[in-house]
A and B are shown apart, each in its own frame.
Chain A
Amino acid sequence: MNIWKSCLFGAALALLTSTASFAAKTDLVLGIVLEPPHLDPTAGAAAAIDEIVYANIFEGLTRIGPKGDVLPALAESWAQSEDGKTYTFKLHKDVKFQDGTAFDAEDVKFSLERPRSDKSTNAQKGLFAAIDKVEILDPLSVKVTLKQPNGDFLYNMAWGDAVIVAPESADTNKDKPVGTGPFKLDNWAKGSQIVITKNPNYWGTPATLEKATFRIIPDPAAATAALLAGDVQAFPVFPSYETIAQFQADPRFKVVIGSTEGETVMGLNNKKPPFDNPKVRQAIAHAIDRKTVIDGAMFGFGTPIGSFFPPHHAAYLDLTTQTAYDPELAKKLLTEAGHPDGFKTTLKLPPPTYARRGGEIIAAELSEIGIEAEIIPVEWAQWLDQVFKNKDYDMTIVSHTEPNDLNIFSRDDYYFNYDSAPFKELIKQIEATSDGPKRTELYQQAQKLLATDEPAIFLFQLPKTGIWDSKIEGLWENGPIQANDLTAVKWTD
């Protein structure tokens, strides 16, 4: 036994001295819950695509920073015309795609025109709707003309769906993504993990990490075990709320609870009686205690919201008191609406925990004021088909995770079936206004209108529950977009 021990000790010593410099680790294993269907951010809505490729493999003209602000990326700078209709982008020089082909204005023109074509399968085609034409001024400048001024244009160009791709590789990006970013795809073992490595020819500040592995771990219990066993060192969006407290008490880990763009709402079918009556909608809002829902469904993680706007945004208004929990008032409103004894209805719940657990709590709370909501669990595909597309539902719970999506309440034929001329007008004005006090004012008017009209019941903002090794720095605290930007991530020793 002693011989074995000394052998082991010797071997360990040899190993230590051979790496005597104690160079900081340069590889990282991250856990992700969902596997991306493919790796082309311009051809699918799955957040899991951006979680791998955004800012790591692909870059756009602009990008979203950790605080949700628009930063320059492949465009070094830009100038906007007086009338707000044209943008002239100056591009970085000496930029190469990861396959060695050069990046220039041609690629920009290609990438902005492709999603607008008839054959386009871009999941966010709407982002490009404002573009009228794209002209190449010289290899490093591009002029984009809009149909009308659009305050969101630079933000829209920062989405993963608007990254710049090369005509040579655009058709094969799903399997072999080729972008201009600081990392490139090394290997994708389907169902298991995706490995990206540092791009040695990156044009900008090189990444500190040499290699990052995204391991796919869908099961919450397995995610907990993987972190505890050290198999993964970071879980940027940790799925098991119930075990977070355990990690908070463990000095080996950092638990970082941030905000996301995910407004979790209970959508109501506004054209279907009795939900066409605003009083009924307000009654439902007053019957639900957001805190109970957050405690019960989310183990206390999540910020209550009173309208459809993220709390971390500068223009946010806290309107939760306007629809505070008040069952007596709820009953009164329901009586005024002609339903003194309540009514029977259904609540369709997609798979995420927030919906399934939250739905049970809400159904219990609604029964207090006489509304009997039958719970119908559905899969995502069924949800998209029945609720989203065919509007065959009464109530449903879902988190709207896209950034800057206040305008969904102005869309015709959207699943809420909400049709408000004043709200549509507000959105029109917001879209035509650049950032500034005027826009803030409009945003707040829109929030107030929704909080009064209550086309959906606004529940809470989805948290970003990050857990990682306490020696890791540079991972995002908040999730202004669903990405794992690794460009600034490093080990501290």
Chain B
Amino acid sequence: MLTYASKRVLIGLVTLLAASIIVFAVLEVVPGDPARLMLGMNATEDAVRALQEQMGFNQPLLTRYFNWLGGLLTGDFGKSYTYSVPVLDLIKERMAVSLPLAMTSLVISTIIAIPVGIFAASRRGSATDTAAMGIAQIGVAIPNFWFALLLVYLFAIVLRLLPAGGFAGWENGFWPSIKSLILPSLALALPQASILARVTRSSLLDVLGEDYIRTARAKGLSRRKVLYYHALRNALIPVLTILGMQFSFLLAGTIIIENVFYLPGLGRLVFQAITQRDLIVVQGVVIMLVAIVVIINLLVDLGYAVVDPRLWSRS
């Protein structure tokens, strides 16, 4: 188990270092000068030069890379060019929205998807199975921003139960903040739940076709017992993989939903930072996301080992 785990950690660290080089290099060649962008079309050349100097663009490439990397190790992500506040503070503020949003969507989608998947698999070919999978198919096909607009129309404009968007801020109370996250999490959860339900179903069906299941049934175990004690545990590996991928996606890939609900999340921070050429923020957020994905993958890998002891006993 230990060697298995330490190998995974090492791979994670190498990934991070490689990512830091790639992120830095890619942003280095992106066209556009942040100073000119901030000062606009009427600015004089000397004003633009003065701002470039202020931002520290005049240092050589390698110096800037190592300064940045050194800063990262000590928890200093640098200062945003546009906002002129520490990047880490910005990330923390946005995490306070993105993290709860990702978690609630993940919880909602899991609560819906796993039971539906099990149910459909256990009644394979029945009308309920067909109906459930039909709905899931629609759930995958519907663009989540469109579903979001429908949710807004019903719950915010017609019923006026929930805000159409925005984030109240945790300092203004728990309930108002949760209220502003309900519709976005629902909109995000629907396609995720649909995918997850289909994966759960097919993975469970695969396992149910295995010889050891027949053996278990032949031993006289009930269908129910076989399903929950023998099949489900083994069917969870692909489900876990998808869950891990979905969580990473939910943290960073929610730009569209964040736009529809004008939520101040990480996705919008990156988007805004890219258009404003606030490269230090882009670097910081991307490396942070890479770190999170690496950690999630590590946890998923360790999760495999828990559900499938062969993985570590072998090594």
Contact = CB atoms under 8 A, between A and B. Distances in A.
A52 to B, nearest CB: 14
B160 A229 contact: yes
B94 interface: yes
B33 A381 contact: yes
Nearest to B167: A192
Nearest to A192: B264
The 7 closest A-B pairs by CB, nearest first: A45-B40, A381-B32, A191-B264, A37-B82, A229-B164, A192-B264, A229-B156
Nearest to B84: A174
Interface in B245-282: 259-265, 268-269, 272, 275-278
Contacts of A215: 166, 262
Interface in A1-55: 35, 37-38, 44-46
Contacts of B260: 219, 221-222
A38 B167 CA distance: 20
Contact of B31 (A123, A231, A386): A386
Given A44-B38, A217-B165, A38 B83 contact: yes
B47 interface: yes
A364 interface: no
Interface of B: 30-34, 36-44, 46-47, 50-51, 54, 82-85, 90, 93-94, 149, 152-153, 156-157, 160, 163-167, 169, 259-265, 268-269, 272, 275-278
Contacts of B85: 175, 190
A33 B47 CA distance: 27
Contact of B39 (A123, A189, A379, A381): A123
A215 B260 CA distance: 14
A37 B276 contact: yes
Given A45-B43, A125-B44, A381 B31 contact: yes
Contact of A225 (B33, B153, B167): B153
20 contacts: A37-B83, A46-B40, A118-B50, A120-B47, A121-B50, A121-B54, A122-B47, A190-B85, A192-B169, A218-B259, A222-B260, A225-B149, A226-B262, A228-B156, A228-B157, A229-B152, A381-B276, A382-B31, A385-B33, A388-B36
A191 B33 contact: no
A215 B38 CA distance: 21
Contacts of A119: 50
A385 B32 contact: yes
A231 B163 CA distance: 7
Nearest to B168: A192
A217 B149 contact: no
Contact of B169 (A46, A189, A216): A189
B38 A221 contact: no
A124 interface: yes
B37 A229 contact: no
A471 interface: no
B97 to A, nearest CB: 8
Interface residues of A, number: 48
B82 to A, nearest CB: 4
A384 interface: yes
A189 B264 contact: yes
A147 B96 CA distance: 54
A189 B93 CA distance: 8
A417 to B, nearest CB: 15
Interface string A427-457: 0000000000000000000000000000000
Contacts of B84: 38, 174-175
Residue with the greatest number of chain B CB neighbours at <10 A, chosen from A218, A381, A386, A400: A381
Contact of A44 (B39, B149, B268): B39
Contacts of A174: 83-84
A382 B263 CA distance: 27
B164 A228 contact: yes
B72 to A, nearest CB: 21
B269 A229 contact: no
Given A38-B83, A192-B167, A385-B33, A123 B47 contact: yes
Nearest to B54: A121
A230 B160 contact: yes
Contacts of B44: 125-126
Interface string A206-236: 0000000001111101100110111100000
Interface string A267-279: 0000000000000
Contact of B277 (A192, A193, A381, A402): A381
Given A38-B84, A45-B43, A225-B157, 8 more contacts: A37-B82, A37-B83, A37-B276, A125-B46, A190-B85, A192-B264, A351-B275, A384-B32
B150 to A, nearest CB: 11
A121 B277 contact: no
B272 A384 contact: no
A379 B275 CA distance: 7
A67 interface: no
A241 interface: no
Contacts of A189: 93, 167, 169, 264
Contacts of A124: 42-43
A389 interface: yes
Contacts of A46: 38, 40
A380 interface: yes
Given A121-B47, A126-B44, A221 B167 contact: no
Interface in A373-396: 379-382, 384-386, 388-389
B164 A379 contact: no
Contact of A45 (B42, B94, B153): B42
Contacts of A35: 272
Contacts of B265: 191
Contact of A384 (B30, B33, B166, B278): B33
Given A119-B50, A122-B47, A191-B272, A384 B42 contact: no
B36 A389 contact: yes
Nearest to A217: B262
Given A123-B39, A382-B31, A388-B41, A192 B166 contact: yes
B88 to A, nearest CB: 13
A222 B277 contact: no
B275 to A, nearest CB: 6
A467 to B, nearest CB: 15
Nearest to A230: B160
Contacts of B278: 37
A225 B152 contact: yes
B254 to A, nearest CB: 13
A382 B32 contact: yes
Contacts of A123: 38-40, 42-43, 47
Contacts of B152: 222, 225, 229
Contacts of A379: 32, 275
Nearest to A218: B259
